[in-house]
Structure 1
């Protein structure tokens, strides 16, 4: 049985990470919320949702301006990433989203290249894939800190495609956020939207296809 991407003539598939491979938005919200609380302000879920799919710089640019924080931005980003790393490494087991492993194995059987394009830093990407136990499936990883731009800019997708050696017309993508979908579409990929309930209200109307479960792609 061919995957949806195989039927559309794709030679490679590039995954988003947060919300597609791992149901991490609630985890990021918890860690970020605790840090914000220590800095003297409360981060609500409603305030957090618009930053889903964006990088750390975007969030901390807002936080520094809105709450008149005095330290350099990189100090806040470093503290956040350190706390996030400790959270993941101290957690006994965080499973991939349902259907991820089966989809990765099916794509490998079809001879597809598999990449990842995320607004997270490459350090977070590598740590997260290691925590999930799925690093071995990926042929290319692209983080926002490597290209100097985050989604909705398509730069991370273009880097992943270049590293995979495929043209945009030969590449599929899976996204769960509006920013991510815009980046995938701008790169020229065939984009599937995964409606993740943890991602809040996201406009995914521009996607080429949409699913409520990754198993629907098999």
Structure 2
């Protein structure tokens, strides 16, 4: 039985990926570096801190990682505030409300910065549904490292065997499985080039899920 659902944010709850992509590429242009679509796809699920550490090492960038992050965040914040059509992904609010109404604990575990998580929570009034908001910036390594999901499971009201992760990225699914947590892969049209084959099951729309179906999942049996 599942008693806690751990949500990723970008590509699962809200499609901020176009805003992130815009901010990253504006900053890459300012820095004078080239990042291919294939390389950019590997960043999905990674924290901004880890992305810039990789780029700093690869390109020998002079600014420190914190400075690079702040510059990118300025591009992101302006674009986020100006994007009037930014909305939650179809069906996810209904699922969140249904899970909450049925007493299933909700935890957010996102590679996004605390500032971005707070921005999304405020804009869409989602804060009251989640008992904990966990940012990848608090961990030295990004997904697929399992640390963020191990920490999320430690905050659950239930044992890890009664937790479930919803993820849209290859890195995120790998992290969830490495943490020993049952994982549903969300095949998001907004998250390109992602291999979800390690997930315990894959959905294409949140209408495929509800509190009753999730609570009934036998994650222990699935792990055998």
TM-score by length of 1: 0.89
Q: Structure 2: how far apart are the matches of 1:154 and 1:165? A: 19
1:111-190 mapped onto 2 (5 Å cutoff):
111-190=103-182
SS at match of 2:108: strand
Provide Cα deviations, 1:36-73, integer angstroms capped at 9, x if missing partner.
Answer: 11112343433311111111122212322333321112
Secondary structure of the residue aligned to 1:172 is strand
Q: CA deviation at 1:135?
A: 1.9
* Rounded Cα–Cα distance in structure 2 between residues aligned with 1:186 and 1:66: 27
Task: Work out the CA distance in 2 between the residues paired with 1:145 and 1:71.
Answer: 18
- Structure 1 stretches lacking a partner, 5+ long: 1-8
- Give the whole-Å Cα distance in 2 for the aligned partners of 1:122 and 1:153: 19
Deviation digits for residues 170-216 of structure 1 (CA, Å, limit 9, x no counterpart): 10110001110011112222110000122111111111110011111
Deviation at 1:147, TM superposition (A): 3.3
Q: Is the 8 A contact 1:140 1:164 kept in 2?
A: no
3-state SS of paired residue (2:118):
helix
1:15 equivalenced with 2:26 (yes/no): no
Cα distance per residue 1:126-164 (max 9 Å; x no partner): 112222332221111111222333211222112222223
Structure 2 SS opposite 1:141: strand
Q: Is the 8 A contact 2:16 2:86 kept in 1?
A: no
The equivalences for 1:33-112 within 5 A come to 33-112=25-104
Per mean C-alpha deviation after superposition, the further-off stretch among 124-133 and 100-109 is 124-133
Aligned residues: 210
Match of 1:28 in 2: 20
1:19-49 deviation line (CA, Å, top 9, x unaligned): 1011122221111101111112343433311
- Aligned-residue CA RMSD in angstroms? 1.6
The farther-off stretch of 38-47 and 166-175 is: 38-47
* Cα distance in 2 between the residues matched to 1:175 and 1:75: 29
Any idea what SS the aligned residue of 2:9 has? coil
Structure 1 residue 93 displacement after superposition: 4.5
Tell me the SS of whatever aligns to 2:21: helix
Do 1:88 and 1:131's aligned partners in 2 also have CA atoms closer than 8 Å?
Answer: no
Contact 1:55 1:144 in 2 (8 A): yes
Find the residue that maps to 2:155 and give its secondary structure. helix
Tell me the TM-score normalised to structure 2 length.
0.87
Q: Does the 8 A contact of 1:139 with 1:164 survive in 2?
A: no
